[in-house]
Amino acid sequence: MSNTLHRQMPIFLSALIFSCTSLVASFNAAAQSTQGYPNKPIKLIAPVAAGGGLDNIARSLAEKMSKSIGQTIVVENIGGGGGTIASQSVAKATPDGYTLMVAYVGSHGTNPAVRKLPYDAIKDFTAVGMIGATPNALVINPELPIKNLKEFIDYAKKNPDKISYGSAGPGTLTHLGMEQLKLAAGISMVHVPYRGVGPAYTDLLAGQTQAMLPTLFAAMPYLNTNRVRGLAITGAKRNPAAPNIPTFKELGYNGFDGQQWYGIVGPANLPPAIIKKLNSELNKALALPDFSEKMTSEAMTLMPMSPQQFENYIKEDIARWAKVAKERNIELE
């Protein structure tokens, strides 16, 4: 062995020892950070303005989980961009379990399928667990001479582009779901996008448009007063809130599984111990009878999942809407 190599060995060993020591220290620091978690308030971001369904879910869940986890969970509303601004904020947050978000079909389903976003809905987040989902309902203006889905399809085939359907905006679930129906049934309808579901309802009730695919929860007040007629809902089975409305699947249309879903995510690289604790606390809250009853009254089916199951669900939902968007040539800025 040369003298030069002899002289270099101590330097190399010192560097190796320093690297190993640093690695062990970082592992210890990470372990210590998960011990006693949480030891300060947790921020739960709702990617919408205050008020409305998602905000209500976030606050109800925060209340239940705060009691169980032993720390206050504070809901912070960050609206704008269909969840984009909030999602960016969470993706950039420190992955220590103190910044979480209620992800939903817009932020982590339809938007990633049709838009170029400043975040990756999978890689930039850690899936914690699913909360639940409410189906979408195909509703029509009752003035139409249509009583069921078969009659709706037949009418649309005989009157191409005579039916206009409203949506909450381009690329939303209310838009892509109807495009999926157009593909599956081989019909042609005119899309009329609105800035939100409220104005879309106004024109549907006035007869300016004839159909829409809102959430069942949003449709319930109008269904209960016969101001709209329900023809079919998405999802695997009928919903207790509207047991008389059949599923698309029952009526021979498979693949209509898209729903308005909600779940909890954090920044990428959350420590496994924190993920496990948060998932456990979330599923504990979902099992509470009063929380379950409240969500059921709002037409939501609770869907507790493991973190991996929830991540897979998000991937499948993005793939579903990306397929529809590609087949209908829908790509938004």
Give the residue extent of every domain in the chain. 42-133+260-327, 137-233
pLDDT at residue 332 in the model: 87
pLDDT at residue 14 in the model: 52
**CATH topology of 42-133+260-327 equal to that of 137-233?**
yes
With a cut of 50, list the residues of the chain below it in pLDDT. 5, 9, 12-13, 15-16, 19-20, 22-32
Residue 288 Rama label (left phi>0; alpha psi -120 to 50; beta): beta
pLDDT at residue 28 in the model: 46
pLDDT at residue 264 in the model: 98
- CATH code: domain 42-133+260-327 is 3.40.190.150
Contact 300, 217 (CB under 8 A): yes
At 126, phi and psi to the nearest 5? -110, 120
- CATH code: domain 137-233 is 3.40.190.10
Residues 6+ apart with CB under 8 A from 48: 54, 55, 77, 79, 83
pLDDT at residue 16 in the model: 47
